[in-house]
Amino acid sequence: MSRVAGALWRSLPAWQVYGANTGVGKTVLSTILCKVSSRFHPERKVWFLKPVSTGPLEDADDGRHLNRYARDVNSKCLYQFNQPVSPHLAARRPSDTDILDSISQQLGTWAKEGPGFAVVETAGGVLSPGPNGSLQADLYRPLRFPVVLVADPRLGGISSTIAAYESLSIRGYDISAVTVFTDAYYKNHEYLEDFFGEKGIRVFGIPFPPARDEHSVSKDEKSMQAFYEDVINHPNIGNLLAALSTKHERRIGELGTMAARANDVIWYPFTQHQLVSPSNISVIDSAYGDCFQTFTNKPADGDTTNNEVLQFSFDGSASWWTQGLGHGNPDLSLSAAYAAGRYGHVMLPGGIHEPALSLAEDLIDLLENPRLKRVFYSDNGSTGMEIALKMGLRVSCDRYGWDASQEEVGILGLSGSYHGDTIGTMDCSEPSTYNKRVEWYRGRGYWFKFPTVKMCKGQWVVEVPEELQEHLFDNKTFSSLGSVFNLEHRKESDAAYLYRDYIKSTLQELVQRDSRKFGALIIEPLILGAGGMIFADPLFQHTLVQVVRENPQLFSSRDDLPPPSPATSWSGLPVIFDEVFTGLYRLGRRTSASFLDVHPDISVHAKLLTGGLLPLSTTLASEDIFNTFLSPQKTDALLHGHSYTAHAVGCQVALTSLKKMLHMEKSGYWNSFVDDWTSANALLKKATATTTSDPVESENPVVWSSWSHGLVRDLSYAESVEGVFALGSVLSISFRDESGGGYTSAAASGLQSKLAQGSPGFNVHSRVLGNVLYLMASMTSKPDELRRIEQMVRSALLL
């Protein structure tokens, strides 16, 4: 995918002319536009660009036509095919990226030549395939030119014009104007005026050009010439030009005021507004793939005649960890619209609809966890975790005979965990910067400190917090990330026994000495996200789950407890995995549980669930947990539910997203990433085999990241870097922080600023958590594109 800036230049209003169908007069309209601009704005240069042209039968002579009838226009065709066929059938084809880059460069060059006016003509209809088969409106989407749509004046033309408009709309195009050659018989223009008028789009009727005189070229030319002379005086043509100019000015004006307006009315999440000013609000004009198109006030390269209004910004937080299939993905857009058209939203309780049912079935299959049999829908990760919590507390209180309204039943978790912003889920985490200022927050539980994984100076290290070292061990180094994940081997190691003893004795103290009660074990598997991108030793998490399951007597002295851990029933405590962030391929696999070699009883998924388009969350649970809520009493049910539970649009989009990601998995979409990490791991293992404490490399767990192993290694040697890791689409860099970390860190925000500054026309939007700067790719990001970002990181840190 090309990384071009959106097509918007301050002094070069530019329009892409699309036709509702082939043969509707795009070239004539383009010629008119060029001529009238020359007439009314002689101070502007007029430019005409035909990116792809396909021979005489269609409109290969567009350029010639234009040159003949609008002599003062500078016209250019970038790619000319001689066969009168759809360009995707032609030979010697430029790539889509080439085409986009050429257009962008060409217009950029023209924009430097002073005030101008440009028309970019398309070929065929809006969805005619381009040279590589991508539909034209998809091909040009990264540029998102404003569109002039030439309607079809013929019989059936109302249908094709509106359908073309809809196809452009679902790809996020803005239609600046519709033009229609007025036909007195079919009167399409009358209908279209009403139709588009309601949508705030003006329709400009234009007299029909003369019929082609097939017998005399000169007569033909003469009558055409006369037509043009005449038509540019038609009031609608002047109005059209004026309307386009106004749109152009207004769009740039809006982009210029949006930050200040947002600063006046928006209350931003997780934002200290005293530190916000319009200058640090980035105005997003649109987004595509893994990039935003953002408004830029500064000339890109110091050249004041260069007046690009938009730059492209890599969406380096994957839009708060949600992005999977790219912004502006047309398949997701169409899926959303299909469900909206078929259902709108229909209430779930008492009924069922196909997207909710299929998604539940697909998820149960996809997660490959034999415990999970039931799907409870909600709207976001936080509500999904509230539901999980309600499930967990109920079943343990029920089994152990606790009355939680009278006695405090807490949860077991990990230090630095984070499960959401609603107060109930906040209570599942220990006091932190996030929750300590929330008046009703009451942390309820116990949170284990635990060993973490990172790369330091070229080696993978399991690092044990100082206060645990007396119970456990000092830091351990590993030959590769794969060997850290080799649980088959590590389960039998000393570390495993030490972990087990430590966990067991801690629990004994808590329950027996301190009389604490626990209702659930809640874990973010592998990576604790909001807590600061903390990579937990998988062996520790594995062991924690095993100890809890194998020792129900730790939690209750009742002697009528079911035997520990039958294959699919909970034992000890219900185990809840918060995979809201880590699940559904974010770490490269369907679940992050699969790295830990344990199956939770309850698993919560959100964010990537809809591919990064819409809020939707699912809490999956085992049948025995579900059964605990069965009773003749309605009030024993799980009394939770939001109005838009399992909204059809979200479910349909999720269905499409999961299907696409599964296809990517199966078709090896990420193979080059896997190869990079596999070969790097092998090399590293060889180089360090004699110095590490665990030389056994697992063949089994494939561990990879879309961020290159080379970058991770080089970062790990950087002086300012304390540790680094990458997994799946996540890269996390912990900086040494003299100030002691906390909510912000100078080193991390230093890198953030440099990335935000970027290079001309391109920057990287990133997020910082304390002393950690992380970058997160989309699941569709391509290697060469990510390497370009990595280069920016390297430059910023002088690697």
Q: Which of 615, 710, 750, 783 binds a second copy (CB under 8 A)?
A: 615
b/e sequence 666-693, b meaning 16+ C-beta within 10 Å: eeeebeebbebbbebbeebbeebeeebb
Q: How far is the CB of 750 from a second copy (least distance, A)?
A: 17
Stretch that binds a second copy, among 119-127, 212-220, 489-497, 592-600 (CB under 8 A): 119-127
Stretch that binds a second copy, among 103-111, 241-249, 626-634, 677-685 (CB under 8 A): 626-634
Q: How far is the CB of 111 from a second copy (least distance, A)?
A: 23
Q: Which of 9, 69, 140, 377 binds a second copy (CB under 8 A)?
A: 377
Stretch that binds a second copy, among 492-500, 569-577, 606-614, 687-695 (CB under 8 A): 606-614
Q: Which of 32, 66, 70, 135 binds a second copy (CB under 8 A)?
A: 135
Pairing of strands 372-378, 617-622: antiparallel
Interface map 13-32 toward a second copy (x if CB under 8 A): --------xxx---------
What the block records as the tokens of 587 is 């770490």
Stretch that binds a second copy, among 108-116, 265-273, 589-597, 705-713 (CB under 8 A): 265-273
Q: Can you tell me the distance from the alpha carbon of 620 to that of 304, in angstroms, rounded to the nearest whole number?
A: 57
Q: Is the dihedral of CA 154, 158, 162, 163 positive or negative?
A: negative
Give the footprint of a second copy on residues 273-332 (CB under 8 A). 273-275, 280-284, 286-287, 292, 294, 315, 317, 319-323, 326-330, 332
Q: Which of 40, 208, 228, 338 binds a second copy (CB under 8 A)?
A: 338
Nearer to a second copy, 484 or 587 (CB): 587
Q: What dihedral angle (degrees, nearest 10) is formed by the CA atoms of 202, 203, 204, 209? A: 160
Q: How far is the CB of 50 from a second copy (least distance, A)?
A: 17
Q: Can you tell me the distance from the alpha carbon of 797 to that of 512, in angstroms, rounded to the nearest whole number?
A: 51
Q: How far is the CB of 579 from a second copy (least distance, A)?
A: 14
Give the footprint of a second copy on residues 427-446 (CB under 8 A). 427, 433-441, 444
669 binds a second copy (CB under 8 A): no
252 binds a second copy (CB under 8 A): no
185 binds a second copy (CB under 8 A): yes
Does residue 81 sit in helix, strand or coil?
Answer: strand
Give the footprint of a second copy on residues 696-725 (CB under 8 A). none
Q: Can you tell me the distance from the alpha carbon of 299 to that of 308, in angstroms, rounded to the nearest whole number?
A: 7
Strand-pairing partners, residue 448, are: 414
350 binds a second copy (CB under 8 A): yes
Q: Which of 86, 452, 734, 763 binds a second copy (CB under 8 A)?
A: 86
Q: Can you tell me the distance from the alpha carbon of 581 to that of 366, in angstroms, rounded to the nearest whole number?
A: 17
Give the footprint of a second copy on residues 764-793 (CB under 8 A). 765
**Whose structure tokens read 């830990």?**
596
Q: How far is the CB of 498 from a second copy (least distance, A)?
A: 34
**Whose structure tokens read 């101070």?**
43
The alpha carbon of residue 42 and the mean position of all alpha carbons in its chain are separated, in whole angstroms, by: 45
**Whose structure tokens read 């990990």?**
414
Calculate ∠ Cα 701-586-326, nearest 5°.
135
249 binds a second copy (CB under 8 A): no
Q: Which of 49, 162, 523, 587 binds a second copy (CB under 8 A)?
A: 162
131-138 — which CB contacts under 8 Å span 24+ positions? Answer: 131/52, 131/79, 131/81, 131/87, 131/88, 131/90, 131/93, 131/94, 131/96, 131/99, 132/88, 132/93, 132/95, 132/96, 133/88, 134/96, 136/18, 137/18, 137/167, 137/168, 137/171, 137/173, 138/171, 138/330
Give the footprint of a second copy on residues 454-483 (CB under 8 A). none
Interface map 191-210 toward a second copy (x if CB under 8 A): x-------------------
Q: How far is the CB of 685 from a second copy (least distance, A)?
A: 37
Nearer to a second copy, 608 or 684 (CB): 608
The answer to whether 688 and 479 have CB atoms below 8 angstroms apart is yes
Residue 481 CB-density burial (10 A; 0-12 exposed, 13-18 middle, 19+ buried)? buried
Nearer to a second copy, 214 or 440 (CB): 440
640 binds a second copy (CB under 8 A): yes
What is the phi-psi region of residue 673: left when phi exceeds 0, alpha when psi lies from -120 to 50, beta otherwise? Answer: alpha
127 binds a second copy (CB under 8 A): yes
Stretch that binds a second copy, among 157-165, 299-307, 450-458, 729-737 (CB under 8 A): 157-165
What are the start-end ranges of the H helices in 477-585?
A: 481-484, 487-490, 494-508, 538-550
Stretch that binds a second copy, among 238-246, 370-378, 505-513, 665-673 (CB under 8 A): 370-378
Which residues are CB-contacts of 295 (< 8 A; sequence separation ≥ 6)? 255, 256, 258, 259, 282, 283, 284, 285, 309, 310
349 binds a second copy (CB under 8 A): yes
